[in-house]
Amino acid sequence: MLKAEAINTGNIKEEPKTNYLTNGYTLWSWLLTKDHKRIAILYLVTVSTFFALGGTYASLIRLELLTPNSDLLQSATYNRVFTQHGIIMVFFFLIPSIPAILGNFLIPLMIGAKDLAFPRINLLSWYFYMAGGALTLFALLQGGVDTGWTFYTPYSTTFSNSYVMAVGLGIFINGFSSILTGLNFIVTVHTMRAPGMTWFRLPLFVWAHYATSLVMILGTPVVAITILLMAIERLAHVGIFDPAIGGDPILFQHLFWFYSHPAVYIMILPGMGVISELISNFSRKKIFGYEFIAFSSIAIAVFGFLVWGHHMFVSGQSIYAGLVFSFLTMVVAVPSAIKIFNWAATLYKGQISYDTPMLYALFFIGLFLIGGLTGLFLGSIGLTVHLTDTYFIVAHFHYVMVGGQVLAYLGGLHYWWSKITGRMYSEFWSKIAAIIIFVGFNLTFFPQFILGYMGMPRRYASYPPELQVLNIFSTAGASILAIGLIIPLIYFTYSIFFGEKAPANPCLLPGLEWRTASPPPTENFEETPIVTWEAYEFGEESGLDLEDARNKYKVTV
Amino acid sequence: MQTNSWVPLFPEQASTFAWQVDALYFYLILISIGFTIPIVVVIFFFFVRYREKEKFMTGAEIHGSIALETVWSIIPFIISMTIFLGGAIVYYNQYNPPTDSMEVYVVGKQWMWKFQHSTGQREINELHIPVGRNVKLTMTTEDVLHDVYIPAFRTKADVIPGRYTTLWFNATKPGKYHLYCAEYCGLNHSGMGGYVYVMEQRDFDNWLAGNESGQTPVQAGQDLFQNKLGCASCHEGGASQRGAKLEGIYGHEVKLTNGQTVIADDEYIRNSILNPGSQIVEGYQPIMPTFKGQVTEEQLVSLVAYIKSLSGNTSGTTMTKPAATPTMTGGTMTGSSMTNSNSTTAPRANRGDTNSQGSNPNAPPPTGEPTNQQQR
């Protein structure tokens, strides 16, 4: 971001004496806070910890796969490692990352509210997350779980000799965190918008979170029920999923994917919301096709509930079910395509700045494009018979989840870092890190597409020696990716203590979150803002004094 | 697998539908390139062309364009429909096995594959098949989910406990191909695999001849049916028999007491042995006890094969057994609940039992239900 000293402070008359960070320094002032911004910081710390843990497991997986034999890790350990990698990354990093950190911090700021609708429930959500996380960590310390993050029955209910119940309970409790956060967002967006903030003036970040919240509220209870049924079978031997005692293992897959496919959209929709913000703001113009992007988020959330069967093309599902799910999967690809076209069109005749968040947005589009297109390979039922359960799947969802969601998360974190912490980070190092992450990511996961088509099954601790070269590429890429992810940790930490103080609105952007101090005061705004401009309005109506800013900028440079 | 190139990029094609899958794959790669390159080029162009000359300038005032939105909604939709149709055609070809297939029975268990040919040969983790013949695998498992995956044939299918799934292919090229388990099944998942050997018909015949074949599934099934399990006591005996007539039943419609009709296929026969009460043929009493927990998956496969063979020669076998049949309607209830509770309380222990039985399908079954009933 721009190295400008308080060029523009938005409409702030004078710097507030206290902000949300200086409002109390005791441990209790954090643990019992009802301030959505502080809760977002609590999430930031804990979610990042889980991300580091999940990343450590990922490193172990890649190191093991450096050689064809299972030598570094024995099968028993390897199975636990990939299971825990999946569980931690999905339930404790990807799902809460953008909504619980950035969404929590920004939604009230963006709509001009003092807080979320239910501040206490917001804090409760974090405690649910912590309780679920603690149970899961407890299970990991006890020896972990080896069922795969999908918990397929009857392996998970009858055969697995690991801590399935503890982790299951952890995920069950964590689910309430999701549900309550979603509920909070929906009520907040409905009832707490500032005067003049109409639905179609909402930033697309808020629209994306609205769609995400719908999925969280409607989908998460299903996985909770599924885990409960699993527990009943495992503990009380009531035949639900195990055919040996009268159950049906495919029923589990239907229930599990009825949540877990929409959960994919919980993971990617907020990322798309972030990218819409970045593309529009760093092109300094209105986003192209606002309504289409807004409604494509809703369309994805709705259609997302109708395609779970594409995870089960080879599970003995009937040919008709297979064809219908394949068709619907193709349909759900269209709204994603619409978003990409609109983002590209937004750049046209913009005033594009090459700041780090924009770099992330650019990489996001490239990687999400590949992730989305390979989704078509897997949605095409004839092809997926060969590709499913291979490394092609692994590569595909990492392109969507890491290339999409994680890059969007990092882009968003950089973009709003000055707002969250009141400090600027190193522009140079952040660009270096973004490029290293992009290169490392592609080197890690692109070879896995080829491995998948060659037929290397996923969740294998050992593999045929002829596939070693591609696996070496992948492991080398993972090492580069790991370095790329450690660099931001260093310069972000440095910036908190030694970073340049950030002005309220360093890039002179129209969003409401930029019209209050950095970091914002506890009540967010000195007085309730009145919105008279459209979303992403950079013209006269925005009320930003661009002329003055340009002149001051010329002087400082 | 290709081993000649330094970096393997493409697996061998060795089945009749491998080329179809590959054609679809290349079509999709083409579409992906056709999408990615223009979008990336356009974005790069915009990035360079519209880089800000001065800080805090305002971009052009453009809201959007309904025409453009329509175009870029409809074009991807049409393209995605071509992909759907392509996939549907390839899948349709793969889904239904042709009727003239050579049958192989497959039982998966943690962590090995057992194959049995209809001529009686058994194999573990290896499957020998002739080139150019349709081969149909009828598969089930004794424990958890597994998945037969042969990349060179571009096909896979889950193997599910409690039911039969099928997979078929027609190998086009003699050779040795990887066979994997593709559905995570526990500790030694990555070790659960082997090779498929595709042989010329002559070599295959030699291989068959060189391998001592035990009983064929039909013979083993007949033995179980007439002696070991005592099915014949009810299901043979002509006019006076109490159980449903099985001759000529396979592949035909059966009318049930609840008015429904079903096709008597492998799955139906299997289900009728394990859950006799669920689908009762019209005109018969629900007196058959369940055999759940008493027959192994391999014995079930043999029984199904035998019952199928009854429909091959319509004249039927000679009925020698007298119809000394127990009549106990209540017995069904106790019987089923008893065996159910057995498998409920100790699934792990049971697994060991079935393993030892599995290796010898002709071993006498544990105290059979018919014996029980006769004692009563």
A462 shares contact with chain B (CB less than 8 Å): yes
Q: Alpha-carbon dihedral of residues A273, A276, A281, A286, nearest 10 degrees?
A: -120
Token digits of residue B166: 């099928």
Q: pLDDT under 70 in chain A at which residues? A: 1-16, 556-557
Query: What pLDDT, on the 0 to 100 scale, is given for residue A178?
Result: 95
- Taking a contact as any Cβ pair under 8 Å apart, which residues of chain A between 85 and 144 contact chain B? none
Instruction: Select the residue of B63, B149, B161 nearest A249 (Cβ to Cβ).
Output: B161
Which chain B residue shows the shortest CA-CA distance from A150? B184
Instruction: Select the residue of A244, A350, A453 nearest B11 (Cβ to Cβ).
Output: A453
Query: What pLDDT, on the 0 to 100 scale, is given for residue A15?
Result: 64
Q: Note whether B187 contacts A239, CB cutoff 8 Å.
A: no
Q: B185: distance to nearest CA of chain A, Å?
A: 7
- Taking a contact as any Cβ pair under 8 Å apart, which residues of chain B between 161 and 190 contact chain A? 161-163, 165, 178, 180-190
Helix axes A75-87, A36-64, angle to 10 degrees: 150
Instruction: Select the residue of A158, A349, A549 nearest B347 (Cβ to Cβ).
Output: A158
- What total number of domains does chain A contain? 1
| pLDDT > 80? residue B339 | no
A191 shares contact with chain B (CB less than 8 Å): no
pLDDT in tens, B184-238: 999 999 999 999 999 999 999 888 887 766 778 888 888 888 887 878 878 877 7
Q: Note whether A331 contacts B186, CB cutoff 8 Å.
A: no
- SS3 state of residue B105: strand
- Taking a contact as any Cβ pair under 8 Å apart, which residues of chain B between 71 and 100 contact chain A? 72-73, 76-77, 80-81, 83-84, 86-96
What integer best gives the mean pLDDT of chain B? 79
Q: A21: distance to nearest CA of chain B, Å?
A: 30
Q: B30: distance to nearest CA of chain A, Å?
A: 11
A25 in any annotated domain: no
Query: What pLDDT, on the 0 to 100 scale, is given for residue B288?
Result: 83
Token digits of residue A70: 């299972």
CB contacts, 8 Å: A243 with chain B: 160-163
Query: What pLDDT, on the 0 to 100 scale, is given for residue B331?
Result: 35
Range of the domain at A529: 38-556
Q: Note whether A373 contacts B35, CB cutoff 8 Å.
A: yes
Q: Note whether A79 contacts B189, CB cutoff 8 Å.
A: yes
Which chain A residue shows the shortest CA-CA distance from B24? A383
Contact yes or no for A119/A126 (Cβ under 8 A): no
**pLDDT, mean of residues B276-282:** 82
**pLDDT, mean of residues B113-141:** 92
pLDDT in tens, B38-65: 999 999 999 999 998 888 888 888 888 8
Q: Note whether A365 contacts B149, CB cutoff 8 Å.
A: no
Q: Which amino acid is at B136?
A: K
Q: In the sheet that B165-170 helps form, which strands lie side by side, from edge to edge?
A: B122-124, B112-117, B102-109, B134-141, B165-170
* C-alpha span between A107 and A202 (Å, rounded): 10
Of B247, B248, B243, B214, the residue nearest B230 (C-alpha): B243
Higher pLDDT, A326 or B267: A326
DSSP secondary structure, B182-229, as one string: -S--STTGGG-EEEEEEE-HHHHHHHHHHSPP---HHHHHHHIIIIIS
pLDDT in tens, A137-160: 999 989 899 999 999 989 998 888
Query: What pLDDT, on the 0 to 100 scale, is given for residue A322?
Result: 93
CB contacts, 8 Å: A293 with chain B: none
Enter the DSSP assignment of A72: S
CB-count burial class (<10 Å; 0-12, 13-18, 19+) for A503: buried
Query: What pLDDT, on the 0 to 100 scale, is given for residue A88?
Result: 95
Q: B213: distance to nearest CA of chain A, Å?
A: 31
Residue with tokens 């992730």: A371
- Taking a contact as any Cβ pair under 8 Å apart, which residues of chain B between 289 and 348 contact chain A? 340, 343-345, 347-348
Query: What pLDDT, on the 0 to 100 scale, is given for residue A13?
Result: 53
- SS3 state of residue A127: helix
Q: Note whether B64 contacts A243, CB cutoff 8 Å.
A: no
For chain A, the farthest-separated pair of C-alpha atoms sits apart, in whole angstroms, at 79
Of A163, A472, A412, the residue nearest A278 (C-alpha): A412
A and B: number of Cβ contacts within 8 A: 323
Q: Note whether A244 contacts B350, CB cutoff 8 Å.
A: yes
Beta strands B122-124 and B112-117, pairing class: antiparallel
pLDDT classification of B374: cutoffs 50, 70, 90: very low
Q: A440: distance to nearest CA of chain B, Å?
A: 19
Q: Note whether B190 contacts A461, CB cutoff 8 Å.
A: yes
- Taking a contact as any Cβ pair under 8 Å apart, which residues of chain A between 234 and 253 contact chain B? 237, 239, 242-246, 248-250
A314 in any annotated domain: yes
Enter the DSSP assignment of A97: I
A148 shares contact with chain B (CB less than 8 Å): yes
pLDDT in tens, B2-14: 445 677 888 999 9
Instruction: Select the residue of B46, B343, B348 nearest A347 (Cβ to Cβ).
Output: B46
A277 in any annotated domain: yes
A12 in any annotated domain: no
Contact yes or no for A306/A554 (Cβ under 8 A): no
Query: What pLDDT, on the 0 to 100 scale, is given for residue B333?
Result: 36
So what's the ipTM on this one?
A: 0.91
A19 in any annotated domain: no
Q: Note whether A155 contacts B145, CB cutoff 8 Å.
A: yes
A467 shares contact with chain B (CB less than 8 Å): yes
A320 shares contact with chain B (CB less than 8 Å): no
**How far is the CA of B120 from the CAs of B123, B217, B218, B301, B371, in angstroms?**
10, 6, 9, 12, 29
CB contacts, 8 Å: B192 with chain A: none
Q: Note whether B158 contacts A244, CB cutoff 8 Å.
A: no
pLDDT classification of B276: cutoffs 50, 70, 90: confident
Q: Note whether B83 contacts A316, CB cutoff 8 Å.
A: no
Q: Note whether A350 contacts B86, CB cutoff 8 Å.
A: no
pLDDT in tens, B74-112: 999 999 999 999 999 999 988 888 888 999 999 999 889
Query: What pLDDT, on the 0 to 100 scale, is given for residue B260?
Result: 85
Instruction: Select the residue of B25, B60, B186 nearest A155 (Cβ to Cβ).
Output: B186
A80 in any annotated domain: yes
| pLDDT > 50? residue B349 | no
- The beta-strand segments (E) located in B110-163 are 112-117, 122-124, 126-130, 134-141, 146-150, 155-159
Token digits of residue B155: 């096909």
B14 shares contact with chain A (CB less than 8 Å): no
Instruction: Select the residue of B61, B89, B158 nearest A286 (Cβ to Cβ).
Output: B61
CB contacts, 8 Å: A342 with chain B: 64, 69
A30 in any annotated domain: no
The reported pTM is: 0.85
A26 in any annotated domain: no
CB contacts, 8 Å: B161 with chain A: 154, 242-244, 249
* Cis peptide leading into residue A154 (ω within 30°): yes
Dihedral of CA A322/A325/A327/A333: which sign?
Answer: negative
* C-alpha span between A542 and A457 (Å, rounded): 54
Instruction: Select the residue of B47, B54, B145 nearest A347 (Cβ to Cβ).
Output: B47
Higher pLDDT, A171 or B349: A171
Of A157, A115, A127, A100, the residue nearest A32 (C-alpha): A127
Q: Note whether A457 contacts B21, CB cutoff 8 Å.
A: no
CATH number for A399: 1.20.210.10
| pLDDT > 90? residue B244 | no
Which chain A residue shows the shortest CA-CA distance from B44? A362
